[in-house]
Amino acid sequence: DTEVTQTPKHLVMGMTNKKSLKCEQHMGHRAMYWYKQKAKKPPELMFVYSYEKLSINESVPSRFSPECPNSSLLNLHLHALQPEDSALYLCASSPLAGRSTDTQYFGPGTRLTVL
Amino acid sequence: DQQVKQNSPSLSVQEGRISILNCDYTNSMFDYFLWYKKYPAEGPTFLISISSIKDKNEDGRFTVFLNKSAKHLSLHIVPSQPGDSAVYFCAAPLGNEKLTFGTGTRLTIIP
């Protein structure tokens, strides 16, 4: 298994809803990432988990709450989002945490629309 | 501060010809670079990488060249095929885990 999977593919939610994005990899990778990508912009890093512990939080608002229940799974819990949070949310993983030359492998993303 | 820059937002190339995508960087501490390809509504796919100890890395139709003195790298695709039409991002690790991306170049291959 050489892929990163993300569910759901599309999500539409209201500003008062609570929802979660899920990411899974079975490559034995020890680092997992959440990125946000707006149209015609590069991916922007949100969070990094290394060995299941949060190692980087890029000053992301608390309405985004990451969780890493185990080494294969990464969640992003969403609550009280704003319309400007609408974007493609990408998950990625890499073999070893803390090694800059490791390639990150991306999932297909979840297209989120906040109404 | 954009430390990795792709100054051409778009590029059109005839099928069969060479496509050259360029990337400039400002941080001389970068020692590893990656190219990703992205189709609409999909995640980026890793294409090819290069370490700063090399000035060229080749993988099939894809070759990346690195000019450290100019802080410039380029991706050559030859021959270009219709399936190469996508957005291409160059990226460099900033610190151990943070990947910083360029703004991307949309490549269109004309049949």
Partners of A33 on chain B (C-beta within 8 Å) are: 97
Chain B contacts of A56, Cβ < 8 Å? Answer: 97-98
Torsion sign (Cα): B50, B33, A43, A30: positive
- Scanning the structure block, which residue is given the tokens 């922007």? A44
Residue A92's pLDDT is 94
Contacts of B32 in chain A (CB under 8 A): 100-101
Helices and strands in chain A, H and E counts: 0, 11
Length of chain B: 111
pLDDT above 70: residue A13: yes
- Residue B38 above 90 pLDDT? yes
Q: Check B43 against A107: CB less than 8 A apart.
A: yes
Closest CA in chain B for residue A93: B97
Is A84 or B28 the better-scoring residue by pLDDT?
Answer: A84
Choose among B10, B55, B44: nearest CA to A42: B44
Spell out which residues of chain A touch residue B29, defining contact as CB-CB under 8 Å. Answer: none
So what's the pLDDT on residue A103?
84
Whole-Å CA distances, B18 to A16, A33, A80, B55, B76: 51, 34, 48, 19, 7
Structure tokens at A84: 């400007």
Q: Classify burial at B33, counting beta carbons within 10 Å of its beta carbon; exposed 0-12, middle 13-18, buried 19 or more.
A: buried
User: Can you list the positions of beta strands (E) in A30-86?
Assistant: 31-37, 44-50, 53-57, 64-70, 73-79
A92–B43 C-beta distance less than 8 A: yes
Distance of alpha carbon B83 from alpha carbon B75, whole angstroms: 16
Out of B43, B97, B103, whose CB is closest to A106? B43
Residue-wise pLDDT for A65-112, tens only, equals 999 999 899 999 999 999 999 999 999 999 876 666 678 899 999 999
Is B97 in contact with A97 (Cβ distance < 8 A)? Answer: yes
What pLDDT does residue A21 have?
A: 98
Each residue's pLDDT tens digit, A19-69: 999 999 999 999 999 999 998 889 999 999 999 999 989 999 999 999 999
Nearest to B43 by CA among B86, B11, B102: B86
Sequence-ordered alpha helix ranges (H) in chain B: none
Model confidence pLDDT, tens digit, residues B49-79: 999 999 999 999 999 999 999 999 999 999 9
- B103: nearest CA partner in chain A: A42
- CA B28, CA B9: separation in Å to the nearest integer? 24
Q: Do the Cβ atoms of A101 and B103 come within 8 Å?
A: no
